[in-house]
Amino acid sequence: MIHARRFRYRAVKPALREGYEELDGVKREGGGENVLVAFVTVEDVDRSNVDDVVEQAAEDIIDVMGKVKASGVIVYPYAHLSSRLAPPDVALDALKKLEERLRSKGVSVARAPFGWYKEFELSCYGHPLAELSREFRPRATRQRRVEKRYLIVTPEGERYEPEEYIRRGGVPEEFKRLVEKEALGAELGEVETPVLRYCRKFGFEWEPYSDYGHMRYEPHATVILEAVSRYSWMVAQRLGIPVLRVRGTNMFDLAVPAVREHAELFGDRLYDLWADRKHLVLRYAACHQQFAIMKDMVLSYRDLPLGMFEVADSYRFEQTGELTLCFRLRKFHMPDLHVLVKDLDEALEVSERIQRVIHEEAAKLGRSYYAVYNVTEDYLEEKFDDLVKLIRRDGRPALVAIYPGGVYYWVVNVEYHIVDVAGRPREIATYQFDIGNAKRFGIRYVDERNEERYPVIIHTALIGSVERYIYMVFDTAARMEKEGKTPYLPTWMAPIQVRIIPVRREHLDYAMSIAEMLDSRGIRVDVDDRDESLGRRIRDAGREWIPYIGVVGDREVKTGTVNVTIRRGNERRVMKPEELLKMLEEELRGYPRVERATPLLLSQRPTLVYLEK
């Protein structure tokens, strides 16, 4: 604040490409004598409670104005006091509110235009209060707590209070666990499970050189990650609707109102950063990128339903104490699919395909889901029959969490949980009906009457995040081990699918011929040519969970066969290499082919420390 003997300004040209203030109603030129000029910067932090900051600033300006006996106040936008600026629309709103607040207190006030390069002349008084600086921050406010209540809804449409449903008895143990944790607040605690050991064994590990919650993927983990990522795209195409695959950036500008409004729903889970005086948010799913693309598309009702898909690098600032290797991360990969549909009726129709695929993918691993349906109060009352239809498709009762309407952008948000080997519910797959973001981002389609409409957007991760799907696969293996069975990975996910072991050095050429034939057909194969005992090499292959271990010696070279041990079922068979290839191609049909991440010869592979875990 400067107490000016004289002050004059003139707006020259816009300083912003968009977001600057039109000069209608705001003087292009202005000034005064004996005025208190308030050079004001609105910072990004102020948007958490603009009204509070404006109130603090107005009170102080009035106090100083009285002490220096100024005739009036000029509010002058001045972005140079901070590098962390509020978005233009937030800043202009704050400046207008400051002007209005001062005027409501009887102050003669003028405001220079926002978003313009301006020239000014200033003559400052020289007394002790002529030059002052202030900084106001939003005062702490209690975070709004969203109250929710729970019901159990059966496929027949019956409603129960959770406690009542549990008291009835006969509730499956896994569903009981889910209800107790989510609705009744049971503290289950973290339990060390073989899953975390399996993750480390295959090279999934925390990255100590990064922030908490960020993983690294060593060679075997890289293959698994890539295989699941590619598979998620194949699963998306099974819905039987057109799906477009896209790619995008990891960060978005919070100065864009649609991005900011959507991001604010995540609160303190946002990962944000400042760069080049811009406040950016790291995306927490593919929403921003896909919505930005969708808004630029010319769509007709004939184009719907229409999907858009990306395996998106996603960032969520999870609590440190809640981080779990391979499951709850701060950076992960989300196979995010958004489907545009005309309305909630069509969303109900399309979701049948989504639910079917979600359950099919769990069943392939021998798992089944229990669902938590997060719904708004109005959807529960107005669309209860539709809710029951969704639950009936799942084929089992669901826990329903009921929220006030208008809090979030969705009316239905479904979480599919497994209960892991330690008895903890773990959310994997999901879908939701979004009725707010099409309007927020300007996504439109033209209906049968040639009128523009906002579509409903179905968000879904059909197999969950890539890492959570992998967690479920490892948890399935942990169940096998608990039941006394040999744990294994599905062959399409196994880092090395076949290992050929020559008994002696003279059998290496034959081993290589088999490996090269398999390698040429997209099979991940390697050859253990190390100078180790045969027993040691077979044990090492078992420690890596190699699905097919082929040993070749004198007899195999002579007969043109390979002696194969099949991990699943601990079966041993002698077969021709062509028979092995046919067996593998049958097993891998419908799954992605991903290149191995290690050399063909084990003698060229450095010691992979993680395999010792």
Residues 464 and 526 placed together within one structural domain of the fold: no
- Res 143: pLDDT: 53
For residue 142, pLDDT beyond 60: no
pLDDT tens-place string over residues 170-202: 999 999 999 999 999 887 766 778 999 999 999
At 377, is the secondary structure helix, strand, or coil?
A: helix
Cα 230 from Cα 208, distance rounded (Å): 28
Q: Could you count the other beta carbons within 10 Å of the beta carbon of residue 533?
A: 9
Looking at residues 387-391, what average pLDDT do you find? 98
For residue 27, pLDDT beyond 90: no
Token pair belonging to 468? 């959570």
Q: Answer yes or no: are the C-beta atoms of 523 and 516 closer than 8 Å.
A: no
For residue 63, pLDDT beyond 60: yes
The set of residues, in sequence order, having a beta carbon less than 8 Å from that of 279 and lying 6+ positions away, is 44, 84, 85, 87, 253, 254, 255, 272
Domain contains 457: yes
Residues 331 and 462 placed together within one structural domain of the fold: yes
For residue 594, pLDDT beyond 70: yes
Percent of the chain scored above 90 by pLDDT?
Answer: 87
Residues 372 and 449 placed together within one structural domain of the fold: yes
| Among 34-48, 262-276, 418-432, 537-551, the least confident range | 262-276
Domain contains 215: yes
pLDDT tens-place string over residues 245-257: 999 999 999 989 9
Domain of 554, in residue numbers: 498-612
Residues 344 and 378 placed together within one structural domain of the fold: yes
- Res 272: pLDDT: 87
Cα 609 from Cα 613, distance rounded (Å): 7
pLDDT tens-place string over residues 329-359: 999 999 999 999 999 999 999 999 999 999 9
- Res 105: pLDDT: 95
Q: Could you count the other beta carbons within 10 Å of the beta carbon of residue 290?
A: 26
CATH of the domain at 114: 3.50.80.10
**pLDDT mean across residues, the chain:** 94
Q: Of 444, 475, 506, which residue is a domain's last? A: 475
The set of residues, in sequence order, having a beta carbon less than 8 Å from that of 540 and lying 6+ positions away, is 528, 532
Domain contains 59: yes
Token pair belonging to 271? 């990962």
Domain contains 202: yes
Residues 299 and 398 placed together within one structural domain of the fold: yes
Residues 296 and 347 placed together within one structural domain of the fold: yes
Question: What single-letter amino acid sits at 476?
Answer: T
Percent of the chain scored above 70 by pLDDT?
Answer: 98
Domain contains 269: no
Looking at residues 29-55, what average pLDDT do you find? 94
Domain contains 322: yes
Residues 207 and 323 placed together within one structural domain of the fold: yes
Residues 36 and 153 placed together within one structural domain of the fold: no
Beta bridge mates, 206: 215
- Res 71: pLDDT: 96
Q: Answer yes or no: are the C-beta atoms of 369 and 111 closer than 8 Å.
A: no
Q: Could you count the other beta carbons within 10 Å of the beta carbon of residue 145?
A: 6
Looking at residues 415-419, what average pLDDT do you find? 97
pLDDT tens-place string over residues 484-511: 999 999 999 999 999 999 999 999 999 9
- Res 269: pLDDT: 83
CATH of the domain at 206: 3.30.930.10
Q: What is the 3-state secondary structure (H, E, C) of 141-188?
A: CCCCCCCCEEEEECCCCCEECHHHHHHCCCCCHHHHHHHHHHCCCCCC
Q: For the chain, how many structural domains are there in total? A: 3
For the chain, percent helix, then strand, then coil, each to nearest 5?
Answer: 35, 25, 35
- Res 48: pLDDT: 83
